[in-house]
Amino acid sequence: MPATKLKSVDVVVVGSGVVGSIMSMELANAGMSVVCLERGKQFDISTDFNASNVYDELKFDRHSDIFQNLARDTLTFRNNGGQTALPMREMGAFKPGEMVGGTSAHWGANARRFLPHDFAMRSQIEQRYGKSFIPEDCNLQDWGLEWDEVEPYYDQFENIFGVGGKAGNLGGEIQEGGNPHEGPRSREYPNPPTRQTYQGEMFAKAARSLGYVPFQGPTAAMTQDYRNLYRVQMLQCIHGGFCSSHVCSQGAKANPLTAVLPALMRQKTFELRPLCNVLRINKDSTGKKATGVTYIDARGNEIEQPASIVILGAYCFSNTRLLLLSGIGTPYDPRTGKGVVGRNYAYQQGGSVEIFFDDREFNPFIGGGMVNTSIDEFNGDVIDRGPLGFIGGAYFDNSARGAAPIKGKPVPPGTPRWGSEWKKAVARNYRRTLNIAMHGTCLSYKQNYLDLDPTYKDAFGQPLLRMTFDWHQNELRMMEYMTERCTEIGRALGGSRIGGKSKGTHFSIVGYQSTHNVGGAVMGDDPSTSVVNKYLQSWDVSNLFVVGGSAFPQQPANGPTETIGMLACWAADAIKENYVRSPGSLV
C-alpha cells in the first residue's frame, strides 16, 4: 500500500528531546509550521510521575519503559572489524530514551559547557606539541566553531534550562568560587549554585590541600523556584535522589517536558505526533534536496510528511542510522578512511575512586539534582600533557546522586561477591563511602565507527545500526594517570581503605556506564571529514539539518547535553536568521 501523503509543512523535526523540542519552539515561535515526530509515548508529568511510582529503582532504572524498546530496534556491537557484531539484546552500557522528551527526560542534569579548548583540540594540540603528538589512527578534529560565536547560545540554553552555578570567568575576569578554568562567560548563571554536601566539603578540603580549586558544578535541577526564557515555571529541587534514569516527580529537573513543552504545546503552528517511527528522509530526483520524511504512525500506517526543511534531532544513533538508511552522505569506509556518515563515533571514558571510612557516616540517599563539588585542573588544556604522553583530560567530582539500593552499594576491594561477608560489607559501607568520579575524554579513531549491520534487522525490516568500538591506548594511559591523581586526593581524605572502578581494557556493552554516545554525523569545515557544516546543515542536502550528539567530532570530558542544547539554539538561529531568507548552503 502506498504511503498516505500529508499536506506539506515548513519544518518536520525528528525527535522531541533537547534538540527537537528547542528547535521546534524556536521555529514555531518565528511563525513557521512545525511537525515533531517522536517514536515514544507521551506522559503528563503533572499526574503520571508521583510518589505512587516514581521512587522505584527497579521500574525506572532496570526495566524501564521510558528507554528505547529494544524488541523493536537495537544496535549491534563488536569491539573490532574482525569480529561479528551481535545485537545489544538487553539495555547495557547506555540508555537511549523513548518518550516525548527523549533521553534528556531521564538525564542526571549535569549542565557543563565544554571548554574553549574542546572545540579546537586538533589545532591547539598540534600547535602546542606538534602533529606527531596525535596518534596516527586518531581522527581528532576541530568543530569549526569559535568560542565567541557559541557563548551566547550556551547562555540562551542555560536560560531555558535554568542552570544553577557560579561563574568562574566573567569576560576574562576570574571569579572567586567558580571554575577558574571555564571559558569566558558573558554573564552569571541564571540560578545560584548548589549548596555543598558534607562529603563535598571533605573533598574540597582535600583538593585544596593539593593545590586544586574546587567549585560547585553547574546543574539543570532548579536551585530555586525559577521561571525560564519561555515563561515556564520550575520548582526548586528537594534532593530526593531518583534523578538519572528517572523523571523528576517535582518537575525540578529541567528537560523538554518541564522547560520547553508547556510553552511549545501552546504554539499554534506546532504539532506533536508521538508513537511515530521515522523510516527515512525522502529526496527529490536530484538527490540534493529533502522533500520530507516517511514514517509509520501509531496505527501502523505508512505516512509521508512533506516539508521544506527536515531536522534530524534524534539520538546520536538514530540520526546516523537515518542518514545511512536514506542514502544521504557517503558512508564511512574504515579500510580507505573515506566517507563521512558513521565516522568519528566516540563514547566517554571514566572511572571512580571510592574511599571507605570507619569513623564517618554520610547520608548517601540524600542527593540528586546533580549536587557536586568538582575540580577542573586535569580537564582540557589546563595540564601540560607533553611529558604525560596522552591527549585529552578529565574532571573529577564528588557527586550526591542519591545512592539507590540496588546499584549504589560499594564494597571495599577484596570483598566476596555474595554470601555472608558480602552482606556484612554492604551493611557496613553503604553509609560510609565517599566516591570521587573521573569523567574523561574519548577521542575518535579510524577503527571506531557506525554503519548498517549486514544481518540483523528491526521490526520494520530495516537494518540495525552496527557499532564497532573499543578503547585505545591514549584513553587507557589517560585514565591510568587520572586514577593516580584521583587516588592522591582519596589518600588526602583519610579513610581506611581505597577502592575504585575502571572500564577495563576493552569496551563492554554490559553494565551501565554513561549515555554519552557521540559522533557519526559530525560537524566541521571540510566536507571530506564532516557530514554537516558549522550550522549543522548537511553538506549534501542543504534543507536538511542534523543536530545533536551526532555532530561531536570527539567526546570532551564534560557531559554532552549542555552542548547539544547550545547547538540546538545555534542551529535554530541560523535557520531563522539566515536560511529562511536565502535557502541554500549557509557556508
Partner 1 sequence: MTLSDNPIGASYLYLMEPEVRFLEAAVEHLIPTDDLGPGARDAGVVVYIDRQLAGSWGSHGRNYRGGPWLEGTPQQGYQSRFTPQEVYRIAIREIDQHCKAAFDRPFAQLARDVQLRLLEQMEKDEVALPSLSSKFFFDLLWRNTDEGYFSDPLYGGNRGMVGWKLLGFPGLPTSEYRDLITSSEPYRAEPVSVLDVQTGKVPVDAQGFPRHVMIKRDREN
Q: Which is nearer to partner 1, 116 or 217 (CB)?
A: 217
Q: Residues 394, 397, 403, 404: is their CA dihedral positive or negative?
A: negative
The CB-of-92 to partner 1 minimum distance in angstroms stands at 6
Cα–Cα dist 93/525, whole Å: 32
Interface residues for partner 1 in 395-454 (CB under 8 A)?
Answer: 400, 402-403, 405-406, 409, 417-420, 422-424, 426-427, 430-431
Interface residues for partner 1 in 219-248 (CB under 8 A)?
Answer: 236-242
Q: Where are the beta strands (DSSP E) in 59-170?
A: 75-78, 86-87, 169-170
Per CB under 8 A, 275 contacts partner 1: no
User: Which of 4, 46, 50, 233 lies at the binding interface for partner 1 (CB under 8 A)?
Assistant: 50
Q: Which value, to the nearest 10 degrees, does the dihedral of the CA atoms of residues 579, 583, 586, 587 take?
A: -160
**Binding string, residues 363-392; x marks residues near partner 1 by CB under 8 A:** x-xxx---x---------------------
Interface residues for partner 1 in 94-113 (CB under 8 A)?
Answer: none
Interface residues for partner 1 in 334-363 (CB under 8 A)?
Answer: 361-363
Question: Residue 545's closest CA among 521, 527, 561, 562?
Answer: 521
CA–chain centroid gap for 341, Å, is: 19
Per CB under 8 A, 313 contacts partner 1: no
Question: Residue 454's closest CA among 85, 98, 56, 155?
Answer: 85
Tell me, by CB under 8 A, how many residues bind partner 1. Answer: 74
Strands 277-283 and 290-296: antiparallel
Per CB under 8 A, 491 contacts partner 1: no
The residue with cell 508521583 is 50
Known catalytic membership, residue 516: yes
| Piece in contact with partner 1 (CB under 8 A), picked from 55-63, 122-130, 276-284, 480-488 | 55-63
Cα–Cα dist 199/573, whole Å: 42
Q: Judge residue 81's burial from the number of C-beta atoms within 10 Å of its C-beta, 0-12 exposed, 13-18 middle, 19 or more buried.
A: exposed
Per CB under 8 A, 506 contacts partner 1: yes
| Piece in contact with partner 1 (CB under 8 A), picked from 114-122, 194-202, 486-494, 531-539 | 194-202
Q: Which is nearer to partner 1, 105 or 293 (CB)?
A: 105
The CB-of-72 to partner 1 minimum distance in angstroms stands at 9
C-beta atoms surrounding 383 within 10 Å: 15
Per CB under 8 A, 266 contacts partner 1: no
Per CB under 8 A, 69 contacts partner 1: yes
User: Which of 4, 48, 62, 587 lies at the binding interface for partner 1 (CB under 8 A)?
Assistant: 62
| CA distances, 64 to each of 99, 247, 435 (Å) | 11, 11, 26
The DSSP symbol for 453 reads E
User: Which of 65, 173, 225, 284 lies at the binding interface for partner 1 (CB under 8 A)?
Assistant: 65
Per CB under 8 A, 78 contacts partner 1: yes
